[in-house]
Structure 1
Amino acid sequence: MKLEAVAGEDPRGVLRCLRAAIHGAGPALGLGMVEPAPRAVPAGTAVVVTTSGSTGVPKSVVLSRNALTASAIATTARIGEGDWLLALPASYVAGLQVLVRAIVSGREPALLSGAFTPQAFAAASLTMASTHHGERIATYTSLVPAQLSKLLDAAEHETVVTSALRSFEAILVGGQALPAATLERAQAAGARIVRTYGSTETSGGCVYDGVPLDGVGLRTIEGEVQITGPTLADGYLDDPDRTAAAFPRDSDGTRWYRTGDAGIVAGGVLQVRGRLDNVIVSGGINVSLDRVEQIVRGIPGLSSAVVVAVPDERWGEASVVVATRGEALRRSEADKLDSARAAVAAVIGPHARPTRLVLVDEIATLASGKPDREAIRRAVRDLTP
């Protein structure tokens, strides 16, 4: 089967080619690929998504028609059917899955082209209103936390943005952990938020508000979250060793995906605690930067902060809080750092306290809207005296 590269910046082009790939009438799509196409891929492949992720390590994930459609069908079963708005890059799995859901349901998605702004989002959202036999057709969209925060900031003084947020039956938010403060703001604004968990390897979000979609199984092995079910990718293109390591099989043949995330499953509900590998050793003690970041984001004005590691002469490694200058205007830099250090010490211990607060004009992000942690780390290290 042939693979042809498609520019992810053109959502209409991706939609056209994706429709053919899902229906089996066209070649598989290659999104984010560096190598020239065409080339051969396994039979049944719909899309190969190549991404370096937030850590800068490239990977080409092979997604079949069956996995993508299984995810779309399970999503509809969980939250309902309706019209979808694409507000994310089509080359990002959450954006891609918006298009798949529209294709599977036989509906035409609304497409938000160009740079994401609250005004463009509101205009696209409010033009989606329609009825069928007198019944309102539900609308849905997917966002990342940074987009939701922008919308909530705008909604404070633009009622049209508030109306747009309230117009959706559900807004799926994933890609990274949603800060509790942001969720509370969204709910207070009348937005119906569904927190999703998943990755490209699981065809996007496959756990909604901690509960797996129909057909998806969860377990933890030595603290690592693992996922099984029909939404799993076939593996990594031309990388059998990496595929075997990430997708092990049980003795009964059940195939699992090792997420690399720490978490627990209690009462059938998943609680993710962060990346297993996002840990530093500070003064001889392991510190989870994800856990530190979660606490720091609870400080007023730091809801979008990112915590990264830097070398430290005294402790070996230490953590630094990176936040935007706009947030810092609301409280002094010293107050923010003191509050963050006190909150982290109270929950984890004094050894985990961040050492500095670095202010930037804008947090570096990937095309998906996630923080570009590798770029942020490099920038902070360059600033280190």
Structure 2
Amino acid sequence: MSRELRALPVPTRPADVLALLPTLAAALTGDGPALLPVTPDEPGLPAALGVDDPVDDRIALVIGTSGSTGAPKGALLASDAIKASAMATHARLGGPGTWLLAMSVRYIGGLQVLVRSLLAGTEPVVADLTDGFRAENFTKAAFTALNTPGRHYTALVPTQLTRLMADRDALEALRGFDAIVMGGAALSDAARQRCRDEGVNAIPSYGMSETASGCVYDGVPLDGVEIRLSDGRIDIRGPMLADGYRNFDGPSPFVDGWFHTSDHGRWAEDGRLEVLGRLDDVINTGGVKVAPALVERALMTVKGVEDACVVGLPDPEWGQIVAAAVVADPLPSEQQLRDAVREQAGRAAVPKVVRFLPALPLLGPGKVDRASLRKALG
């Protein structure tokens, strides 16, 4: 059995986003076509992912992913997988509630806010993104959501949280949410501590389109999710996994019920999963493997540092050298940064290149564009 796959133009105005709910509900029940979210900036995506060709009738969503590193592919998400993710999220957070949507529904993190609302039988509140993400628009929508009975949730990426924490009214609104699910990128230790200090319940999550959104919350897998580490690579099994890919010719990472990610992880002393970044981002310098996440974490402990990204650059002597892009105000000295890394991550992890930038280039929902940074730092 098969069903139609239809492109879903992604709106930004709240009324237009809410108008998508019946279409999304029909995709989940099988009464309507499967959907491929697409923005005006991706005119070639529908053709690349075969929008005119049918998909299996189990599939409700096709999420375009990894277009920046080659030909785009589409994660094939069955209705059961999408709903399993939404229900497991509610179970972990304390039950259904009213959700505030503050990110694009082009990505699974935004779409899941709508799915969770549909399953909870609540109407989501949508922040106006017509002119991009603005603290005042979030705050207005947040207080509307917080005036409804029951529990209250939203989902953000770290760059959004940073902006909101710097705004007095937005910070007050953040304190009212029972949980704020953080995705898209890692939440720094400094940001987590500030959230604790300010009474903001920000919960880091780990997941991707292939897992129908976050499947590990604060280092603990959601109910029904299994995690194993294979030579440091994170493997995932659970009911929310994608069925595979569309427009992908390489070896499938979906094997015997497991999804072999490209991510590097380890178990922390308290038994929680610690995600250290992508395996192909690991830097081999002089025969020593350095996880960029550990260097970034050390850099973020230096006073004034607001953001940091670490990449490997080719070097004829070392194979690769550690290079760091840092956003800070006020600017620390390069020696302060190197000393912090040496103390916390070891001598081999000390950056040989340090550049101060006004902001890190972003790719997708809060993810740093490491390819652009390598070019800038090299």
TM-score, normalised to structure 2, is 0.89
Cα pair distance change 1:288/1:227, threshold 3 Å: same
| Distance in 2 (alpha carbons) for counterparts of 1:213 and 1:34 | 32
Q: How many residues align?
A: 360
Q: 5 Å matches for 1:327-346?
A: 327-328=328-329, 330-332=330-332, 335=333, 337-346=334-343
Q: Identity, % of aligned pairs?
A: 39
Partner of 2:275: 272
Map Cα deviations across residues 182-224 of structure 1 (whole Å, 9 max, x no partner).
Answer: 0111111111111111111111101111111111112122222
Q: Contact between 2:325 and 2:355, CA under 8 Å: does it hold in 1? A: yes
| Distance in 1 (alpha carbons) for counterparts of 2:309 and 2:11 | 27
Cα pair distance change 1:355/1:56, threshold 3 Å: farther
| Paired amino acid for 2:26 | A
Partner of 1:256: 258
Is 1:147 the counterpart of 2:160? The answer is: yes
| Distance in 2 (alpha carbons) for counterparts of 1:207 and 1:99 | 20
| Distance in 2 (alpha carbons) for counterparts of 1:222 and 1:61 | 25
Partner of 1:208: 217
Is 1:120 the counterpart of 2:137? The answer is: yes
Is 1:31 the counterpart of 2:37? The answer is: yes
Partner of 2:350: 353
Give me the CA root mean square deviation.
Answer: 2.1
Partner of 1:50: 64
| Distance in 2 (alpha carbons) for counterparts of 1:53 and 1:171 | 28
| Paired amino acid for 2:55 | V
Q: How far is 1:14 from its partner?
A: 4.5
Map Cα deviations across residues 2-38 of structure 1 (whole Å, 9 max, x no partner).
Answer: 1111123443464443222012221111124613333
| Paired amino acid for 1:3 | L
| Distance in 2 (alpha carbons) for counterparts of 1:350 and 1:70 | 44
| Distance in 1 (alpha carbons) for counterparts of 2:315 and 2:22 | 51
- Helix, strand or coil at the partner of 1:99: helix
Q: Contact between 2:305 and 2:326, CA under 8 Å: does it hold in 1? A: yes
Q: How far is 1:176 from its partner?
A: 1.8
Partner of 2:232: 223
TM-score, normalised to structure 1, is 0.87
Deviation larger for 42-51 or 265-274: 265-274
Cα pair distance change 1:283/1:376, threshold 3 Å: same
Q: How far is 1:271 from its partner?
A: 2.3
Partner of 1:67: 81
Map Cα deviations across residues 12-68 of structure 1 (whole Å, 9 max, x no partner).
Answer: 464443222012221111124613333211221111011226756633111110000
Partner of 1:161: 170
- Helix, strand or coil at the partner of 1:48: strand
Cα pair distance change 1:61/1:13, threshold 3 Å: farther
Partner of 1:7: 9
- Helix, strand or coil at the partner of 1:195: strand
Cα pair distance change 1:224/1:320, threshold 3 Å: same
Deviation larger for 271-280 or 65-74: 271-280
Is 1:283 the counterpart of 2:286? The answer is: yes
Cα pair distance change 1:15/1:367, threshold 3 Å: farther
Q: How far is 1:163 from its partner?
A: 1.4
| Paired amino acid for 1:125 | A
Partner of 2:375: 378
Q: How far is 1:151 from its partner?
A: 1.1
Cα pair distance change 1:297/1:77, threshold 3 Å: same
Cα pair distance change 1:291/1:268, threshold 3 Å: closer
Runs of 4 or more above 6 Å deviation: none
Cα pair distance change 1:248/1:57, threshold 3 Å: same
Q: How far is 1:69 from its partner?
A: 0.4
Deviation larger for 195-204 or 9-18: 9-18
Map Cα deviations across residues 297-325 of structure 1 (whole Å, 9 max, x no partner).
Answer: 2222224111122233543322222133x
Q: How far is 1:89 from its partner?
A: 1.2
Unaligned runs of 5+ in 2: 39-43
Is 1:41 the counterpart of 2:55? The answer is: yes
Choose the corresponding residue for 1:20, options 21, 26, 29: 26
| Distance in 2 (alpha carbons) for counterparts of 1:127 and 1:53 | 36
Cα pair distance change 1:240/1:54, threshold 3 Å: closer
Map Cα deviations across residues 123-148 of structure 1 (whole Å, 9 max, x no partner).
Answer: 110111335xxxx3211001111111
Cα pair distance change 1:367/1:285, threshold 3 Å: closer
Cα pair distance change 1:292/1:59, threshold 3 Å: farther
Q: 5 Å matches for 1:190-205?
A: 190-205=199-214
Map Cα deviations across residues 350-372 of structure 1 (whole Å, 9 max, x no partner).
Answer: 22211232222332112312112
